[in-house]
Amino acid sequence: MPKGFSAREKEWIKEKLMTRGRELFCAYGVKKTSISDLTHAAGIAQGTFYSFYSTKEELFFDILEQEEDEVKRAFLEAPVASGNNPKHAISELLIQTFNRIEDNPIFKRLFADDEMENLMRKLPDHKLEAHLRKDNDMLLPVIEKWKRDGVFLSVDSNIVAGVLRSLFLLATQRKQIGAAYHATVSFLIEAVVEQLLVPKSDSHE
């Protein structure tokens, strides 16, 4: 933990780093933003940065997780069982989630050039593993809520969570997929939902 700062000061410094870091990363990317750029923008000494983060990639990852939490909150709170067509509701929810990701400047920066590869290379394994666990911990309660709300799933909840996680990873492959990206995403969402959900007429057989 950082030494020499009160709890309020630590909170203020970290918030400042994240706010200024978000601005700089969105504008220039992680690779083109230096530690001195970050500390100068935040109004702190350069050495102070290392009391909070080992690398600028770890700061970017914290900002990324903060942005993800907003996307996840909207995903968690969205109703999917209202009406008689949960397949349509879930498909629409997945499309809306993709749109939120695509419109977010931090995600745009992550998917630009080789930022994603650089981030994965620089981050410690334990942070990536914790992130995957956090994703799973978020998705499983959502899936169980769908079940309680009358959405009939054809496979185990853990498989559903894995499929949804894999689907969202498509957003990291936009450049590789190319011009067919949006059509590919729409097709896969439709196919995934069709396979994961049991038709209502079959649910009581």
* Residue 79 sits in the same domain as residue 121: yes
In three-state secondary structure terms, 123 is coil
Closest listed residue to residue 93, CA positions, set 162, 173, 148, 167: 167
Residue 168 in this model has a pLDDT that exceeds 80: yes
Q: What CATH number should be reported for the domain holding residue 123?
A: 1.10.357
* Residue 151 sits in the same domain as residue 71: yes
Domains contained in the chain, number: 2
* Residue 104 sits in the same domain as residue 27: no
When mean pLDDT is compared across 6-15, 34-43, 74-83, 141-150, the lowest value belongs to 74-83
Domain containing 120: what range?
A: 56-202
* Residue 39 sits in the same domain as residue 61: no
* Residue 29 sits in the same domain as residue 70: no
Cα Rg for the chain, rounded, in angstroms? 20
Q: Are 150 and 85 in contact (CB under 8 A)?
A: no
Quote the pLDDT of residue 203: 47
* 120 token code pair: 């994965």
Residue 198 in this model has a pLDDT that exceeds 90: no
Residue 2 in this model has a pLDDT that exceeds 70: no
Q: What is the mean pLDDT of residues 191-199?
A: 87
> Which of 11, 38, 53 is a domain's end point?
53
pLDDT tens digit string along 109-154?
A: 888 767 888 888 888 888 888 888 888 888 888 888 888 888 888 8
Q: Are 128 and 121 in contact (CB under 8 A)?
A: no
Quote the pLDDT of residue 81: 63
Quote the pLDDT of residue 66: 92
Residue 55 and residue 57: Cα distance in Å, rounded? Answer: 5
* Residue 3 sits in the same domain as residue 70: no
